[in-house]
């Protein structure tokens, strides 16, 4: 993980530490009684309908984000299934090298070592593909979290629009509306959205790094130095 990514995640965690219970609070956000909303006239409902439309749009994006997570999970499953055969090909190639060293000719040994190098190269590609798919899945999950945060914000803003509209009604229930609570719910939803955006930005950076590494290995080049290498990548 790059230093910039760690910094971004550190910021997100710091922000998240201060609002760890925000998701629960959002689920318990203040709501306006639909019976009160029914007393609003057409002009008052216009703003509310606009807010509800934003909720629908946010939910559409949430559904797309959920589908992207499923696709990323499938890609990762396929990539992981390709690693074991590549491990087996390396082991077979190792035994051929050992046999050539003990009983074969120089030409046999050279050919066996070439096959081993090729098998190892294929395994490196397979492992880096898994690493890329893992980062893509994390990115998809972060995007899903952001999409959910947008839904939460749209819902909170809709409730606030309704509360502001009904607050002027000459009805006992309307006089009990506390706009401070509704505005606080919107601020909390905005804070959650900011945290989710930081996480998504960090995940996007990790995908870029993993993709560059994968493409480098696929072309036979060395990936950029990382603080942690893939386990067993260079073993015999």
What are 207-223's pLDDT values in tens digits?
999 999 999 999 988 88
Per-residue pLDDT at 232 exceeds 70: no
Query: Rounded distance, CA 196 to CA 202, Å?
Result: 10
Listed range (57-61, 101-105, 126-130, 201-205) with the worst mean pLDDT:
101-105
Query: Rounded distance, CA 233 to CA 197, Å?
Result: 33
User: Both ends of the chain: CA-CA distance in Å?
Assistant: 26
Query: Rounded distance, CA 55 to CA 162, Å?
Result: 14
What does the pLDDT read at residue 29? 79
Per-residue pLDDT at 17 exceeds 70: no
- Model confidence at 135, in pLDDT bands (50, 70, 90)? very high
For 150-176, what is the mean pLDDT? 93
Per-residue pLDDT at 9 exceeds 70: no
For 25-29, what is the mean pLDDT? 62
- Predicted confidence (pLDDT) per residue in 174-215, tens digit: 888 999 999 999 999 999 999 999 999 999 999 999 999 999
Domain locations in the chain?
Answer: 3-218
Are 68 and 138 spatial neighbours (Cβ–Cβ below 8 Å)? Answer: no
Helix axes 179-218, 3-17, angle to 10 degrees: 160
- Model confidence at 65, in pLDDT bands (50, 70, 90)? very high
Mean pLDDT of the chain: 87
What does the pLDDT read at residue 2? 52
Largest CA distance in the chain: 100
Residue 207: which residues within 8 A CB-CB, separation 6 or more? 132, 135, 136, 138, 139
**What is the reported pTM?**
0.79
């Amino acid at each position: 993980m790059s230093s910039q990514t760690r910094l971004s995640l550190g910021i997100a965690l710091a922000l998240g530490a201060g609002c760890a219970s925000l998701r629960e609070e959002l689920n318990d956000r203040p709501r306006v009684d639909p019976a009160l909303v029914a007393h609003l006239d057409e002009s008052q409902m216009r703003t509310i309908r606009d807010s509800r439309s934003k909720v629908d749009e946010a939910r559409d994006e949430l559904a797309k984000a959920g589908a992207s997570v499923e696709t990323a999970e499938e890609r990762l499953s396929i990539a992981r299934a390709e690693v074991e055969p590549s491990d087996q090909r390396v082991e077979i190639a190792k035994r051929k090298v050992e046999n050539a060293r003990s009983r074969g000719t120089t030409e046999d040994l050279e050919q066996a070592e070439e096959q081993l190098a090729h098998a190892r190269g294929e395994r490196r590609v397979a492992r880096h593909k898994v690493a890329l798919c893992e980062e893509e899945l994390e990115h998809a999950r972060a995007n899903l979290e952001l999409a959910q945060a947008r839904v939460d914000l749209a819902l909170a803003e809709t409730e606030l629009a309704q509360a502001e509209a009904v607050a002027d009604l000459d009805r006992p229930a309307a006089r009990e509306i506390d706009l401070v609570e509704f505005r606080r719910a919107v601020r909390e939803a905005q804070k959650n959205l900011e945290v989710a955006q930081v996480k998504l930005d960090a995940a996007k950076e990790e995908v870029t790094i993993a993709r560059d590494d994968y493409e480098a290995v696929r072309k036979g080049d060395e990936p950029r130095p990382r603080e942690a290498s893939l386990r067993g990548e260079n073993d015999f």
